[in-house]
Amino acid sequence: MVRFFAQKGTPGSVVAVLNGAVNEILVLPSIQNQMIRQGADPVGAGAEEFGQVVRREYEKWKVIAHESGATPE
């Protein structure tokens, strides 16, 4: 999944416009082919679905980092 982020506090109306534009671009064959060649998985999603993916990934990697003993430099 390709991930694009906006700054915290970005108005929902702006997020909706950005999300719509990104999803429109991701269906273009030339964009899809280029992203796939670069190792990305161009999949569009709604903002809420994207938020759920980010939360799941955060929780998963938080546990992995903690169990590994990794510390920030």
Query: pLDDT, tens digit, for every residue of 24-68?
Result: 998 899 999 999 999 988 888 888 888 898 899 999 999 999 999
pLDDT value for 21? 92
CA angle (5, 49, 52) in 5-degree steps: 80
Which long-range contacts (C-beta less than 8 Å, at least 24 apart) are formed by 51-58? 53/1, 53/3, 54/3
Tokens for 29, please give them. Answer: 């064959």
Using CA of residue 63, residue 65, residue 67, residue 71, what is the dihedral sign? negative
What is the pLDDT averaged over residues 5-33? 92
Q: Which pair of tokens denotes residue 68? A: 């590994």
Decide if 3 is inside a domain: no
The total number of residues shown for the chain amounts to 73
Q: What is the pLDDT of residue 72?
A: 82
Q: State the total domains in the chain.
A: 1
Q: Domain range for residue 20?
A: 12-68
